[in-house]
Structure 1
Amino acid sequence: MRGPDAFPTVSGVAAAARMLTRRHPDLCRMRLAGESRAGRPLWLLSVGHGTRHVLVVAGPHPDEQAGGATALLLAEQAVHDRRRLTEDDLSWDFLLCLDPDGALLNETGPAGPRPGAVHYRHTYRPAAAEQPECAGVLRTSVEELPETLALLAVIDELRPVLQCSLHGTDVGGGLVRLTADVPGLAEPFGKYAAELDIPVQTGSYDALGWDGAGPGVFVRGATAGSTWERPHRYGGLTAVVGVPMWASRRVADPTPHPEPERAVASLAARLRKDAAVSASTLDRARPYLAERDGPLLRGVEDATESLGRLADEYETLALAGTGRVPLTMAHVAALDIAARRMPLLAAGMLLRLLDQQRHGDDDPAGEPGRLHTRLERRLDAGARDLLTAAGARWVPVGDQVELQARTVLAASRAVTRPAPGPRVPAARPDGVPTGLMPR
């Protein structure tokens, strides 16, 4: 079973889910779980009538676009395996897009393969405080986003044994982060990644210091009050399954880095320079921006401020030494990617804001025109350098979706069909989930 050749739109995912419910009304149903800040619907698709629930959350980060297609593929698979749903007393529930407002801002670019500069030219990454999964971390309960409240209400209602949050990365490899161990998950995950020629990310900035449960699988308890932690109230757990748009084998290299402190210090110095340049460019652009307090501007501001915070963290890591977490070549490659992508996100979003200002007034000799030209050159060069430094190649959308779907299935079988003794994933004899055959 194959994923699509392009990322679907938010409306396309909802329409496909609606068609599924019409084709299988005995098994599928769709309802409104809430509304976004802008009043867009948060749709919940359910397949099956069991008392145990697996909740799949697509689109928690709107620039990580594979999740909607993965949810649809898994829903079709659940319909195909209706007998297993009954045998396992299981229901699958799909929150089709947690942040539809942000996702729409990422639909301006190509839906499939694209040059790196074009990707960042159309990417919108919300400020951290505006990301729905940041519940209990950056906001108080009074300030909570409606999308977050809707997700928490769904978790409280369904009490899922497993929540799967569908994430991605611009450049890197596949990885899984767990809020509790799922023994044996690393084996099928690695197998599926190898079959699809997607590297497993053994070094990750986001999971630095987490316990390893096998290549590319990391375990750490979630922050109390977060959406990832919420299923633990009911004996469940969360699996965060990430897949890359561009694959880099450098994030899979377990070789110890010969000079990790020096390498990280060099990355921190570059971040300091990029932070200063990004802040200066934003200050010079502000007088010409039509948007004074919109999501794109807040995204630029957050990305620009994040550069300085990231430099602080890298400097601390370099000065404190890396003995607690011995850094490998994969770790340093992941840190390098993280340091290179943030300035590109800031530049791309700022260009979109300048585009709005320049509409009908695109004098290249004026200050906005000069800023626009410099940003475009910086974006082109930075995106090219990122992909070259990472040795990255585009991963077909269908492969991104297939790896994510297979991994979710493996996690769900490990959690919902435990064998006596240590839990191991239940699968066919060849280790491939039914209906998702390797190509």
Structure 2
Amino acid sequence: MDRYLTVAEVTEAARRLVSRYPGAGRLRRIGTSRAGRPILMLSVGHGPRHVLVVARPHPDEPVGGATAIALAERVARGDRWSAATDPELVTWDIVLCLDPDGAALSRGIEEATAGPDHTLESYYRTAFRPVAAEQPEWAPIESRHLPESQALFDVIDELRPFLQCSLHNVEAGGSWVQLTRDLPGLAVPFRTSAGELGIPVQHGTYDALYWENPSPAVYVLPPPDSTGRLAAGSENIGSSTWCAPARYGGVTAIVEVPMWATDAAEDPSPHPEAAHVLRDLSGLVRDDGRRVTALLGKARGFLPPPGESPLRRVLEWMADGLYDLVADSWEPLARQAAEVSHADDPRRPTTAQVCSLDVVARRQPLRAAGLLLRLLEAADDDAAPGLHRELDALFTAWCTDFEKALRLRWVPVRHQVEHQARTVVAAAESALKTLR
């Protein structure tokens, strides 16, 4: 496997699997997207206990579809890695794509990241991520009710899974797992898999900077009343689809694998200039974000209105304070770094933590720039080409600097899939042991 699978390819692979293994697999529609696209679930096995796997919850994170099919194939073939993959004991229920509408707006991302040349530029030119209130896993946190979210809630209530695994990519960095409850048996196989495949593990991540960290790159959701330890905007995380299995004693694992890796992601040593670098990164995300917003301002008169354009909605959402929100969210870490006076002070931010924030600071303006470039390419206005050229020059320079600053290297898709699949199985085995 040398590239990600499209939603259509994942669906066809699921249909072929059902045909090849009669009686082992079933494919059914569990819901319908806002635009009328089917949300399909492939179930493999007949065990009384259920593992729920959710692929493509974010449309700009394409690895999950391939991982979903790899997992289904192994269970259907009878590859009993563990009790968790015994089809007589456990049924694997796999949502093939939770956000098909978003995936349609990221159409081309699979080809853009294929071939011998893997660049951030090609990725960000095709990637699309909706506003938070239109992300199926996240919308309930924003008090938004989407049919995609409801389809997942309904399946959770029907199956009562002892484990839910949400399959994610991160553009750059290392691999990590976020858990709604600790799974002690996961840490060793997770690290072993990453090491065998040459994937760094993320020691410190923006998404879980202040979460419990029982083992390297494994983070556990803090208690609901610990809002100060949650990322900005996630204070109502208990309402998310991630936390729903807890109603039935289940646990959720969010499994992140990088598209591009950097060794800095797993460097736990104290960063020698953390306070200075964090100030620079704060300025970077604000300044570059404002440059994109300034060009958006010049184009607003001829772009489609936000109500008609998901891309425009994202741009306006980002322009309305998101860059400042991101930068402000790590101010406590920056203050802590500034207060440290000794090199061996355990409060000094690590190189891996700073690396994680570096990725976030750079990707926010790039996401916006990629979307605006797409809108300008499609615009029928005399001013559009000039604005496109100006933004394209910034976009290309930012991508090049991103790759060089963090010394990024592409992780082969087959390694991303293999590591994610192994991690899911290890999580299932660990969660299953807690039930015995």
1:25 Cα offset (Å): 2.1
Check conservation: 2:75, 2:86, Cα contact below 8 A: no
Q: Hey, what's the Cα distance between the residues in 2 that align with 1:88 and 1:230?
A: 25
Q: Hey, what's the Cα distance between the residues in 1 that align with 2:435 and 2:158?
A: 27
1:273 alignment counterpart: 287
Q: Which runs of 5+ in 1 are unaligned?
A: 421-439
Q: Hey, what's the Cα distance between the residues in 1 that align with 2:434 and 2:131?
A: 39
Alignment equivalent of 2:43, drawn from 42, 46, 56: 46
Deviations 1:256-289 (A, max 9, x none): 1223233212211222212321221111111121
Corresponding residue SS for 1:55: strand
From the superposition, tell whether residues 25 and 326 of structure 1 become closer, same or farther in structure 2 (CA, over 3 Å): farther
1:126 alignment counterpart: 130
1:11 Cα offset (Å): 1.0
2:104 alignment counterpart: 104
1:160 alignment counterpart: 161
1:200 alignment counterpart: 201
1:29 alignment counterpart: 26
Corresponding residue SS for 1:98: coil
State yes or no: 1:296 paired with 2:311. yes
1:251 alignment counterpart: 265
Corresponding residue SS for 2:379: helix
Deviations 1:39-86 (A, max 9, x none): 000001000111100000001111000000000000001112277555
Q: Which letter maps to 2:16?
A: M
Check conservation: 1:136, 1:224, Cα contact below 8 A: no
Q: Which letter maps to 1:98?
A: L
1:436 alignment counterpart: none
Q: Which moved more, 1:250-259 or 1:345-354?
A: 250-259
Corresponding residue SS for 2:164: strand
Q: Hey, what's the Cα distance between the residues in 1 that align with 2:435 and 2:429?
A: 10
1:168 Cα offset (Å): 0.9
Corresponding residue SS for 1:198: coil
Check conservation: 2:44, 2:87, Cα contact below 8 A: no
Q: Hey, what's the Cα distance between the residues in 2 that align with 1:18 and 1:419?
A: 32
Check conservation: 2:306, 2:313, Cα contact below 8 A: no
CA-based RMSD of the aligned residues comes to: 2.0
1:350 Cα offset (Å): 0.5
Q: 4+ residue runs of structure 1 moved beyond 4 angstroms?
A: 82-88, 320-326
State yes or no: 1:56 paired with 2:53. yes
Corresponding residue SS for 1:224: helix
Q: Normalising by the residue count of structure 2, what TM-score does the alignment of the two structures yield?
A: 0.89
Q: Which letter maps to 1:127?
A: V
- Higher fraction of helix: 2
1:89 Cα offset (Å): 1.9
Q: Normalising by the residue count of structure 1, what TM-score does the alignment of the two structures yield?
A: 0.89
State yes or no: 1:228 paired with 2:242. yes
Q: Which moved more, 1:88-97 or 1:150-159?
A: 88-97
Q: Hey, what's the Cα distance between the residues in 2 that align with 1:373 and 1:211?
A: 45
1:369 Cα offset (Å): 1.3
Q: Which moved more, 1:206-215 or 1:39-48?
A: 206-215
1:419 Cα offset (Å): 9.3
Check conservation: 1:45, 1:96, Cα contact below 8 A: yes
Q: Hey, what's the Cα distance between the residues in 1 that align with 2:305 and 2:87?
A: 54
Check conservation: 1:57, 1:166, Cα contact below 8 A: yes
Check conservation: 2:178, 2:255, Cα contact below 8 A: yes
1:428 alignment counterpart: none
Q: Which letter maps to 1:166?
A: L
Q: Which letter maps to 2:58?
A: H
Q: Hey, what's the Cα distance between the residues in 1 that align with 2:333 and 2:190?
A: 30
Q: Hey, what's the Cα distance between the residues in 2 that align with 1:256 and 1:68?
A: 37
Corresponding residue SS for 1:43: strand
Query: Between the two proteins, what is the percent identity of the paired residues?
Result: 47
1:87 Cα offset (Å): 7.3
State yes or no: 1:315 paired with 2:331. yes
Q: Which letter maps to 1:44?
A: M
Q: How does 1:19-418 map to 2 (within 5 A)?
A: 19-81=16-78, 89-109=89-109, 110-113=112-115, 114-139=118-143, 143-221=144-222, 223-293=237-307, 294-304=309-319, 305-319=321-335, 326-358=348-380, 366-418=382-434
1:344 Cα offset (Å): 0.5
Q: Which moved more, 1:34-43 or 1:309-318?
A: 309-318
Q: Hey, what's the Cα distance between the residues in 1 that align with 2:281 and 2:113?
A: 32
